[in-house]
Structure 1
C-alpha cells in the first residue's frame, strides 16, 4: 500500500531530477523527471539496461552534462502518474546527524532542567543559546550510522513495529554524495555533493536509551533502524539547482497540521561541515546519504506520537514532497 502523490504545478527546483521508478509489475529503473511530471527512462536514453541511479552517481562529473542535455531535449516522455515512485537511490552508507538545529536543542535544554534549577525560563534559554553559539564555533557535529535497510519509498506505508512504544518523526534535508570523499576540507566539501533529497528519520523514543544498562548510552540500532523507518525522496535534485542548502524550509505536516516548520539557517553545522566531518573518519561513496538533523517540532515536543492511520507530509524547499501513511504492525 502507498499514499499517492498529489499533482502540483512544479515538482522541484531546476530543469530535472533523478528518480527510481517502476511500471506496474515491472522492474525498477532510473529516470529523469522534469518539473512538469514527465519521465524519461534513462536505461533507454543512455543505452544501458543495467543502469541504476547509484550507477549514474558513480561517474557524476560525466553524467551531469548528459542529463542536462536530455532535459533540454523535446523527446518523448511519459506521465509520471503511470509509475510507482521508489526511494531515489540505494546507498551503501547512511550518515545521520543529531542535535543539529539550534532552536530544537535550546528547547530540549530548557525542557530537561535539573529538579533544583528554579531559574526563570528566559535565563535558562539565554544560557542554552550561549552554549549553542559556542558549540557552533568550537565543537564538532554529532554523526552516527544508519542502515540502508531502513529506507523506504516516499509514498510507501510506514509500518510501526509492535514493540515501538513512542514512534516519532524527524524530517531532514539529506545530501547525496557524488564523488568518493575522504578527509575533505569544509571549503571543498560541497564539491562532493551531487544533489539533495528529503529524509524522514523516524525514531522510537522509548528505545533511544538502554534501560538495562543506562551507562551504555544511546541505542540507535534499535530506535532508528526498523524496516521502513527512513522514508526517502521522492527525487534527487542536482546541487546546481539548489542555490543555498543553508536557506531551505523544512516542513512536516501530520494529518494536515503543521508540526515542523523551520529554515536550514537554524542548523548549527551546515552541510559542508557535516560532509567534511563524516569524511574525516569514513570514506564516503557515491550514492551515500548525509542526513543533516531535524528541526524543532517532533512528536515529543507536541506530546503526540505516531499511531496507526496517521499521514505524514514532508517537504523541503525545491525538493518536492513525500507523503507516507503509518500502519500498525499486527502484534500477533
Structure 2
C-alpha cells in the first residue's frame, strides 16, 4: 500500500493511493491519522481489510503533507554510506552513528524548506526513511525487518555550521522547522522486498548532485533496527533516517550550500519524489 496525507497544513486527512493512481479518502472508514498506533502493523492490516474500491475518490487532493502526522522519535544514522564517508574525509564507522532530529523538523514533501536565522551552510541529504510498526527491544537482526511498517523518502536537510562548528551534538544542525521533508507516501514493507536495492537521487536546480543506491549502505536496515533496539525501545511511528550517499554540498570542492530560490528534487525508487523550494527565514 501507498499511504499519504492530503490537505492544508494542520488539516490533513489520511488517504491511500490506489492501483490507478487515485487518492482514496480513508478518514470516513474509521482510519486514524498516520502517527503512533495509526501506523502499527495491526493498523495497517485493518486498512488492508477494507474494500478500497468503495472508498471515495478525492478528485483534487491538493497539498500532500508529510506521510506521518507526527513522530514519537526522529532517529538518524550518520556516515552510513561508504562513498559519503570518503567524501567527508571520515573513516567508515565500526558501529552505526546514532543521532536525532527534533520531531518538529517534520514537514511535507512539497513544502518550502526554510533556512533558519543565521544559516550559512544549508545542505541536502536524500535518505531512506524506515517507519517502525511494532515495539522492539533487543530484536535480532533476523527478526528486525518484520518490525518495519514501511519506508519513505526523507530529505535530511542540515545546517553544517550549526552541526559541526558550533560544538555539542549534531542535533542543532538537523532540527530547524522544515528540515525533515517526509513522503510523499508511506510505502508498506510488503511493497519493498529488499530495502538494500533502491536507487536514490537528488537534484539541485535540475543538476544531479546525488545518484546512488541503498546497496552502498555500510549498515543495512535490518542491522540498524536490531542495533538500535539493543539501546532503546523502538515504538510504532518512530522514524529512522538511515544515512545519505555521496554528493552533499559539504563534500564538494569547493563546497556548495543552499540559498533562497534553490529547488531540490529528491527521489527513491518505489517510494516517490519530493520537491522543495528553499527560502530564507
Using the TM superposition, give the Cα deviation of residue 323 of structure 1 relative to its aligned residue in structure 2, in angstroms.
0.5
Question: Is contact 1:166–1:306 with CA below 8 Å preserved after alignment?
Answer: yes
Match of 2:63 among 62, 84, 87: 84
Q: How do residues 52-63 of structure 1 correspond to structure 2 at under 5 angstroms?
A: 52-54=33-35, 55-58=37-40, 60-61=41-42, 63=43
Select the residue among 245, 253, 275 that pairs with 1:323: 275
CA contact (8 A) 1:32 1:67 kept: no
- Equivalent positions of 1:1-20 (< 5 A) are 16-20=1-5
- The C-alpha deviation readout for 1:242-282, integer Å capped at 9, x for no partner, is 12100001100111111001010000000011111111111
For normalisation by structure 1, the TM-score amounts to: 0.78
Residues 299 and 180 from structure 1, CA distance in 2 versus in 1: closer, same or farther, beyond 3 angstroms?
same
Aligned to 1:125: none
- Candidates 124, 132, 147, aligned match of 1:177: 132
Q: Structure 1 residues 206, 71: closer, same or farther in 2, change over 3 A?
A: farther
DSSP-derived class of the 1:27 partner: coil
- Aligned to 2:164, the other structure's residue is in SS state coil
Show structure 1 runs of 4+ deviating over 4 A.
none
- Mapping for residues 116-135 of structure 1, pairs under 5 Å: 132=92
Alignment match of 2:195 (pick from 242, 245, 258): 245
- Aligned partner of 1:21 in structure 2 is 6
Where is the helix percentage greater, Structure 1 or Structure 2? Answer: 1
Give, in whole Å, the separation in 1 of the partners of 2:219 and 2:182. 22
Q: Distance in 1 between matches of 2:279 and 2:52?
A: 41
Q: CA deviation at 1:20?
A: 1.6
Q: 1:107 deviation in Å?
A: 2.6
How big is each residue's C-alpha offset from its partner over 1:111-155, in whole Å with a ceiling of 9 and x where there is no partner? x7xxxxxxxxxxxxxxx6xxx4xx5xxx32111122110111100
CA distance 1:206–1:184, shift in 2 (3 Å): same
Aligned length in residues = 277
Report how far residue 71 of structure 1 moved.
6.5
Q: CA RMSD in A?
A: 2.0
Residue matched to 1:188: 143
Q: Aligned residue for 1:42? A: 26
Partner of 2:85: 105
Gaps of 5+ in 1: 1-15, 113-127, 212-216
Residues 22-62 of structure 1: CA deviation (Å, up to 9, x unaligned): 2x59822211122533122222123x5xx21124223x23x
CA contact (8 A) 1:95 1:278 kept: no
Q: Deviations over 1:193-231 (max 9, x none)?
A: 0000011111111122345xxxxx553232111111111
Match of 2:45 among 57, 65, 72: 65
